[in-house]
């Protein structure tokens, strides 16, 4: 029994490679936060991660691969946040309010990564794939919320997809313009509730 527990613990602990990959992604996000990515290279990421360029290439083949992995990590967290809200919220209106609130928080905490995802999606296929998969997953989740609010199945999916893309654009514009994400969230909440026929 003790041996079994010990081996399980070993398997769940992050490996040295996991920790190094996390350090690389953390270094890349820190550079996005401090310089907006201007001058970011494989060499600068490696230096901030405390490894050599050669060591970084063991994990990622280019700066864009690092950024794609960083976007994937961020959107995985965003999807988990929205899914958690959908599971916990009993009423569709609560799910909408909390989902937008958590999305605003993600833009506060990881806005430079999300901005990078929006801006590099047209030119970096791996980033586009990660970002679009997140939007599609969020639209699926919110489509279920729209159905619970009373929209027919097909309409619910279409409306949710349009609203999710609109939400992305509104938060992106607020972030780029250094406007209030709280104001953007309040506006988005009103639009979502109105579109789903939920009293404000």
Query: What's the pLDDT score for residue 200?
Result: 82
Nearest to 111 by CA among 23, 44, 184: 184
Retrieve residue 35's tokens: 């310089």
Is residue 101 a contact partner of residue 88, using CB atoms and an 8 Å limit? Answer: no
Please, which residues have CB within 8 angstroms of residue 41's CB and are 6 or more apart in sequence? 63
pTM for this prediction: 0.88
Nearest to 31 by CA among 69, 67, 80: 67
Query: What's the pLDDT score for residue 10?
Result: 53
Domains observed in the chain: 1-61 (1.10.10.60), 63-200 (1.10.357.10)
* 3-class SS of residue 115: helix
The mean pLDDT values, 10 residues at a time, for the chain of 200 residues are 50 79 96 88 95 94 95 93 84 94 96 96 95 92 94 94 97 97 98 94
pLDDT in tens, 46-68: 999 999 999 999 999 999 999 99
């Amino acid at each position: 029994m003790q041996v079994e527990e010990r081996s399980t613990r070993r398997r769940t602990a992050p490996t040295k490679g996991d920790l190094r990959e996390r350090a690389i992604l953390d270094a890349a996000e820190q550079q996005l936060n401090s310089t907006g990515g201007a001058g970011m290279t494989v060499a600068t990421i490696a230096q901030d991660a405390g490894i050599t360029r050669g060591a970084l290439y063991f994990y990622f083949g280019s700066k864009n691969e690092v950024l794609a992995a960083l976007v994937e990590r961020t959107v995985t967290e965003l999807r988990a946040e929205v899914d958690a809200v959908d599971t916990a919220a009993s009423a569709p209106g609560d799910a909408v309010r909390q989902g937008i609130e958590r999305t605003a928080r993600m833009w506060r905490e990881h806005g430079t990564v999300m901005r990078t995802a929006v801006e590099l999606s047209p030119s970096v296929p791996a980033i586009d794939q990660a970002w679009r998969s997140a939007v599609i997953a969020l639209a699926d989740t919110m489509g279920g919320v729209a159905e619970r609010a009373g929209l027919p199945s097909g309409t619910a999916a279409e409306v949710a997809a349009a609203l999710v893309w609109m939400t992305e654009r509104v938060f992106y514009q607020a972030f780029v313009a250094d406007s209030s994400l709280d104001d953007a969230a309040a506006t988005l909440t009103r639009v979502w509730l109105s579109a789903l026929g939920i009293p404000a």
